Structures are given as structure tokens and as C-alpha cells.
Amino acid sequence: MPINLHAATRRELFLASGALFAWAYMPKIALAEGRDPRLLVIVLRGALDGLAAVAPVGDPDWVALRGDKALTLDGKTSALPLDSFFALNPAMPNVHRLYKQGQAIFIHAAATPYRERSHFDGQDVLESGVGKPGFTDTGWLNRALSAIEPTGRVDGGRKIFAAGPVTPLVVRGPAPVMSWTPPRLAPASDDTLMRLLDLYRHTDVDLARVLEERIGLAAIARSGGMDANPGQNGAPRPAGVAQVRAYFAETAGAAAKFMVRPDGPRIGALAFDGWDTHADEGVASGRLAALLGALDGAIAVIETEMKSSWRETVVAVVTEFGRTARINGTDGTDHGTATIALLAGGALKGGRVIANWPGLKAAQLHEGRDLKPTIDVRAVIKGVLADHLRINEQALATKVFPDSALLKPMAGLLV
Amino acid sequence: MAVDLKFEAASALHRFGFGPRAGSIAALASDPRGALLAELDRPSIGRISDSDLLTSGEAARAAFDFRQVQRAARLAQRAEREINANAAKNAVPPTVSQAPADQIPSAQPPAMENGGMEAKPNQSAPNANAAPRNPGPGIPQQIYLEEAKVRIDAALSSEIGFVERLVWFWSNHFCVSADKGPVRALCGAYEREAIRAHVLGRFADMLNAVESHPAMLLYLDNARSIGPNSLAGVFRGKGLNENLAREILELHTLGVRTVYTQDDVTRFANVITGWTIFPPRQEPMRGGEFNFNARMHEPGPQKVVNRTYADTGVDQGRAVLSDLARHPATAKHLAQKLARHFIADQPPQALVERLAKRFNDTDGNLKEVAKTLVTSPEAWNAPRSKIKRPGEWIVSALRAMGVTPPDVRPVMQAHNLLGEPLWRPTAPKGFSDENAAWIDGLAQRLDIANQMARRVAALVEPEAVVDAALGPLASAETRQAISRAESRPQALALLLMAPEFQRR
């Protein structure tokens, strides 16, 4: 696979058409301990509905809140139990298996310090590591590299390695970026297509007709047997599921293949789009289930490709914010606040859901509508960076997550 | 009033130019019409001054030399094969027969010379009978790509792009095709020498430059057309090719089903026999350049569209072209096409008539016609119904996002995917200027938009791009769709696909 070294200038970012992840060599301290840790960050863009991914089935207000969209242990599609209170979306059997093996941790009711509801700003806060929007030059993962003492090197320096057609902000910064060009570009998602169709229907009927025809043709192509693995209940899968699964798996697999190499990167990042489920969310068998299934598959691919290095690996899955606690008028959820973060990997002391549960009664919701954040997702990341990569707390509090000295790294996440 | 002017500025940038860049709308808002007129008056506007570019003669000779080297290599290869085949018959061990084919140096036929932009899979198996390996683009393709980059850069860097749009219009009106024989190396030089040089000059001069240009003479076969009674015709027994004469009458000047007959076509073809090029094989200094070869020219007077032209050699053809350029049917035909390109598939008749009249009144002064176009009320009142042609849309998207691709090849690939490969129309009529031809390609545009958006999303702020590229043209629905997008790439893709950005 060709790898290109790019200085992460804005110009180079345009040139780097490829998938990207962050790349760094072993921290000296970890090496001294005989460890060789890997960290892969996956950003879910669009805001994951944390309540649909990990349902608080033990909360007495849960079913009342979501009605027939509430995942339960005894529903038509039963959620997978995690503990006495939480259960996992059934689209994620691999992650459930890892959880049972003590290799996955969910952090619930977590959020960044961002409290507005703009995707762009929310993603910037999540990835820049700065407490407020407007800082888009460098990401926390890149700055974390500057905090790692470089080892005696074969390659000439610290590097960032990133996958995905857009270089995620989280890896941008002074450390050079290595890019990998994936064999396939992410397809224009069905979500984009549907949004465009909606726009055309309201503004330009001729253009709407053309897009409708394309969607019709695509449906015919799919029914022609390309996807031999229909969705649950025999219902046709939402459009493009096979493509999305393939893209997630291919990108994640490529990341893992690089990271497993003895001379390969140790830190990476990639981003998956499509989580903005305003309408027809499809928690149990529709769009969100398909996306969660694709994510589940991607994590399984990483586990497989990492081979024995999986026991030294942490995969951190984060999203810019959560979604409304209640279902909206179009069987979806709107932009919210708290959600989940997911850690997976053999290096974890897993099999736990970490939460300071805020409750789901109306008065307990943030601004009367969103799951209230009770854990700062930066504390989770700081915990991983501190214990996994051995980045010192001073650097974490000033350089990696500026002005976060009062926010202690979450302890005890790792074995 | 300020709001209306801003709206007009944004409309004008899309309709007459290549779309706004950052700050364009504000820059034009004080006087949109005046800005368009001012661009027409800018010194050497429309010209490209790049001394590294080859003239059409230089390009033709470079391409010829390249083909000679290839041909030599092919012949050498064939000779090797024959020697090997004979050697094999004489029971030489078969391993030896494999080796020489591999030693042939890399000068091989260019897979891309006539085959377009699509990359072809390399032949990797070292098999003496297999097609030779592709060594990369040959000289003609290199020249083509250099010219393509210059053209795209000119469109990207233009202030409004009105004159560049006129260049694109006339280049398509007088199209040649890179897919025809030796034309690939010449299309860029052709556009510079025949179109740009006269884009704001007299139509008669452009017509003369076009029809006597080697690229056109090769494209429409006139270089090989021989008067039956000329010395060459009598001696070689070869004859007339009507192709160019017909297309001049049908497409370039009067228009189809107007005032000419089949006899006019034949006699006009006779008139322009001898309009050919110096053969590169015999003319190392002038090869590939225009040559009036009297030995190929049909002797005698010819009657074309009701007028008889005495045989004055090359001037006989020039006289016909000069009259065709000034024929009222030509004015009407061109006015219709201009109005269709810029304003509407079915342009207002009053506008067409005004353009034709201006054309007639000014002896085909194209600058005056362009001025009439942008000062006509219809040019501003017409609804924004035209779907941008693929090339226009690609350039306007790059301008909106403020990026200049360092490599022109992805831009060319986007042209190809959207059905408008540069300088490669499928017929002498050029690419269509009607919505019906392009609307079904909209779905492909979404894929291109998605790719472009993903590449530049790290560099730009979608809301700023909306303001810069659409400004007052953006509907509330479009703004809402962009602001609610789940990511910057999605927001940008929606912007590039918005009806206000697709239509002008």
C-alpha cells in the first residue's frame, strides 16, 4: 500500500486525497516498560444517539420516554444486556462479545464541554480539544504526539497517520501527517442524497425528478442480488448498507494493517459519517442499526488485523454530541447533548459501563430535552492518553487539552 | 436598491462568468453591468501569454517526431519477433525468445494518444506477443494536458470570467476533437491562435483563422481534399472531401436548412481544395503549418450561395468566408446560439434579433455583440433556468471553494465523467447547450461534488462559501439544508448541488 508523507499544511491537506490516520512511534516510557501501545481514534460525525446505542433499560422512565422506539431486553429485537441497567443495540454483537471478554468499556451520559448544537462547531470542539469552537488549526491527537518523547528513530521523527478522505481535525497540527489513499472513495451517502432530494423537492421539481429516478435505479440494482444478506425481519436493508459496511471495514482494516506492523504507526485516527438521524432513525432495524452494525464490523476487523497486538490496543470511538432524549415528529431525534463514548481493545480493563446516570425524568434532562452530561469526554481521553501512552498530566492539562487542569484524567481504564 | 445590485452581481457572475470567488459579489455590487463591460475593455483580455506553450506548428512537429520514434520502436520490435520466430524454428531454446522483447526501450505507442483520458491497465506480463507496455502519456497527451491546465487556470483566475466564457463558447462553436488523428497535440494551440486571438475581434477574422488552422483542416479532412481537376487530382486520381465545406455552411456560419444547397457544398469544397498543411515528413521546419497547395486546388470559378468567385487561389476561399461571415443568416444563427448559451434554451426573440442586428451593424464586431448581450434587459430578467455545463460547474465549484488544483488530471477526469471531455466532442456540432442534454448527469455531479467537498472540507467554512458563492441567490431552504448538514463535507456537497449553484 502506498504511503505518502505530507507536511500537514493546508495546501498539503488538499493534496492528500487519501484516507488518513495519525501515526506516531512508541513513547519512550512505554518502550522502557516493554510495552508497545496502539491508539486508534474513530470520530463519528453527525452525532450518535447514545441512548439508541446503549439503552438504559433499567431506568423506569426509559420506555415512557421513547415508546416503541425504546430498545428493551424483551422487545421484538432484544437489546444485548451489558449490566443490570444498560443494554447494547443488537446490531453490535462483536462489541458485545468484546465487552463480555472484558475488552470494551462504554461511558454514558458523556459530552465535550460544548453546549450548543452545531455539528461543525461541535466537531471542532471534540477534535481540537479546546473548550470552545473556533480553533481549527490543530487537534488534540496531534498535540499529544508533541508531548511524547520521540524514541531513537528509524524514520526521522514523529508522524501522524490518518485515514478517511478528509483529514480529521483531531490529527491536524505541527506533526507531519502520513496519508494512505483508500482504493475506494466514500460513496455519496444516502443521507446526503435524501437531503438533496428534500431540498430539490422544495425548490426545483425538475432536479428532484432526476434524483428520484436515480434512487429508483439504485433500488433496482440492489434488488438484483448484490446484497445477499437482507436486513432483519426480511425487510430490505436501507439503501447503500453494503457499501457503507464495506467502506467502514476497508478503512478500519487498513488502519489496523498499518498499526500492526513492527515499524508501523502507533497512533491513528479516522472518521465515519452519517450519524445525523433526524428522521426514520431505524434504531432496531433501519439506518442507525445499519450504521452501528458497520461500526461493529469495523471494530471486529481491527481486532482481527491487529492479531496479538490487539492486547496492546485501544480503539476510542467518540462523537460530537448526542441527540434529543425523546423521539421527534419524524421518528428520529434532533441534536442533543450527552451521548456515549466507546473504548474497545485488549489493553482495557473492560466489561463495564461507566456512568453517573443523570436520569430521564423531564426535570433531569438538559434544558428539558437532552440527556444531561455528567462525564466530560475529555476526562476519558485524558485517562487513555495518560495510562496507555504515558503522557504526563501537565502536558495533558496544558498542551493537549488546554485549560483542563481541573479535569482529572479518568483513572483505571486500562489493565 | 443595494440588495438588488448584489443580487444582480451574483447572477451576473454565474450567468456570464465562472461564478463568484470570495469577495466577487461585493466587488461587482456597485455596478454589475459596468464590471462586465469593463472586463471586455481590459488590455489583452482573453489572451494567454505563456512562452512555454508550443505553437500549433511546433506541437505538430513534436507529435510527428514522437510518432516516428514509436514507429521505429514498433518496427524494431517486429523485426526482433521475426528473428526470434525464425530462431525458434531452428530449435534455439525457447527462453531466448523471451528476452529481446523485454529489452525494447520504453518508446511504445501511447495508450492515451487517441484513447482519451481513461487510464488503461498496464500490460505487465512480459509476453512477446502481447501489446507493449504503456510507458505513460506520450508527447501529444503531455501537450494536451499542459494546454488543459493553462485553460483551467485562466478560468479559475479570471476576475469575472466573461471573456473566458466567450472563449469557451466560440471554441465549442468551432470545435475540433482531440480524438481525431493528430489533432490532440494541436487543440490547445488552436484555441489560442484561432479563437482567443479574435474573441473580441471581428467574426470574419476568427472564421478565417479557424478554417485555415491545421487543427480544423485535419479534423474535418480538408487537408486531404483534392480538386478533381487540379494537378494532384488528375495525377493521383484522388478527389474532393466535402466535410469541412459542409460544416462551415451548416454549423459555423449560415446554419442548417438555410440558404445553401448541396451544390453550394460541393462547389465550396472545390473552392477550399488546396487548404492543407505542410507535410512534417518533408518539411522539418514548416511541417504541420498551414499551406495553400496550388497543385491540389480545383481550378476555375465557383458559384457559392448565389455569388460567383473567380479562381484567385487561396483568396478564392477567403472571399467566400468573408461573405459567409457577413451573411444575415450567419448573424441570426450566431445570435441564436449566443443567446441560447448565456440566457435560455428558448431565448427571447427580441434579444436574438437585437444581437443579430448589432452583429450586422458592426461588421461582426464580437466585442460589440458581447456588450449588447450584457446590456440587454432580457439578459438580466430571464429566470435562472440554464443548467451549467459540466466544465462551467466544475470551474465554478473550484472558484467557490477557493482552491486551485495543482494537477489538472482530476479536473479532466471530472469533465470526462460528466460527459464533457475537454476538446473531445463526439461530433463537429460540439457539446449541446440545452438543459435536456445535461440534466440527467446531475446524479453523477453529486458524486463529483461529494469528492470535491471531502477534499476541501478541511480548508473552508461552508457558511462562508455560501455567502461567497451564492450570497443573495441562496434560498432559505438551501441555507437551512447547509446549516443542518451533519458535516462540513456534506454541507459543501449540498451547496455545490443546490439548484442555485447548478443553474444560472
Nearest to A329 by CA among A284, A280, A260, A293: A280
Q: How far is A177 from chain B (nearest CA, A)?
A: 14
Mean pLDDT of A390-399: 92
Q: A124, A195, A278: best mutation site toward chain B, by most B Cβ within 10 Å?
A: A195
Chain A, residues 189-248, CB within 8 A of chain B, namely 189, 191-193, 195-196, 198-200, 202-204, 206-207, 210-211, 213-214
Look up residue B442 and give its amino acid.
L
Can you give the pLDDT at residue A311?
95
> What structural domains does chain A harbor?
3-185+240-400 (3.40.720), 188-239 (no CATH)
Percent of chain B past pLDDT 70, that is, above it, reads 90
Least confident interval from A300-309, B386-395, B452-461, B489-498 = B452-461
Q: How far is B49 from chain A (nearest CA, A)?
A: 26
**∠ CA(B56), CA(B60), CA(B61), 5° rounding?**
120
Least confident interval from A44-48, A176-180, B348-352, B367-371 = A176-180
Can you give the pLDDT at residue A343?
98
Can you give the pLDDT at residue B95?
39
Q: Could you give the 3-state DSSP secondary structure of residue B340?
A: helix
Given an 8 Å threshold on Cβ–Cβ distance, is B478 in contact with A203? yes
Can you give the pLDDT at residue A7?
33
Chain A, residues 383-412, CB within 8 A of chain B, namely none
Is B454's Cβ below 8 Å from some Cβ in A?
Answer: yes
Which residue does chain B place closest to A20, by CA atoms? B455
* Residues of chain A contacting B442 with CB distance shorter than 8 Å: 207, 210-211
* Residues of chain B contacting A169 with CB distance shorter than 8 Å: 458
Mean pLDDT of A88-102: 98
Chain A, residues 70-129, CB within 8 A of chain B, namely 118-120, 123
Q: Could you give the 3-state DSSP secondary structure of residue A323?
A: strand
Least confident interval from A20-34, A131-145, B110-124 = B110-124
Q: Residue A220 pLDDT > 90, yes or no?
A: no
Q: How confident is the model at residue A3 (pLDDT cuts 50, 70, 90)?
A: very low
Residue with cell 498530566: A393
Nearest to B182 by CA among B234, B221, B136: B221
Domain ranges of chain B: 2-41+387-502, 141-325, 328-381
Mention every residue, 6+ apart, whose C-beta is less than 8 A from residue A214: A193, B443
Q: Residue B237 pLDDT > 90, yes or no?
A: no
Percent of chain A past pLDDT 90, that is, above it, reads 52
Q: Residue B37 pLDDT > 70, yes or no?
A: yes
A142 or A57: which leads in pLDDT: A57
Q: How far is CA A36 from CA A26, A101, A153, A308, A347, in A?
A: 6, 21, 15, 11, 11
B476-483 and B462-469 helices cross at what angle (nearest 10)? 160
Percent of chain B past pLDDT 90, that is, above it, reads 72
Strand ordering across the sheet containing A87-88 = A54-55, A87-88, A80-81
Given an 8 Å threshold on Cβ–Cβ distance, is A14 in contact with B494? no
Can you give the pLDDT at residue A16?
29
* Residues of chain B contacting A278 with CB distance shorter than 8 Å: 484
Is B465's Cβ below 8 Å from some Cβ in A?
Answer: no
Look up residue B332 and give its amino acid.
K
Neighbours of A137 (CB within 10 A): 13
Can you give the pLDDT at residue B174?
98
Considering CB atoms only, which of B451, B498, B503 is closest to A185?
B451
DSSP B42: S
Which residue does chain A place closest to B456, by CA atoms? A14
Chain A and chain B share a number of CB contacts under 8 A equal to 111
Chain B, residues 365-394, CB within 8 A of chain A, namely none
The set of cell numbers assigned to A113 is 464541554
Q: How far is A307 from chain B (nearest CA, A)?
A: 32
Look up residue B113 and give its amino acid.
E
Strands A54-55 and A87-88: antiparallel
Strands B302-304 and A104-111: unpaired
| Residue pair A372/A356 in contact by the 8 Å Cβ criterion | no
Considering CB atoms only, which of B450, B488, B498 is closest to A188?
B450
Q: How confident is the model at residue B136 (pLDDT cuts 50, 70, 90)?
A: low
What stretch of H or E contains B32?
A: helix B32-41
CA distance A94 to A90: 10
| Residue pair A54/A303 in contact by the 8 Å Cβ criterion | no
Can you give the pLDDT at residue B93?
44
Nearest to A6 by CA among A162, A183, A164, A165: A162
CA distance A27 to A38: 10
Considering CB atoms only, which of B454, B475, B497 is closest to A166?
B454
* Residues of chain B contacting A14 with CB distance shorter than 8 Å: 403, 405, 455-456, 458-459
Given an 8 Å threshold on Cβ–Cβ distance, is A207 in contact with B499? yes
Chain A, residues 273-332, CB within 8 A of chain B, namely 273-276, 278
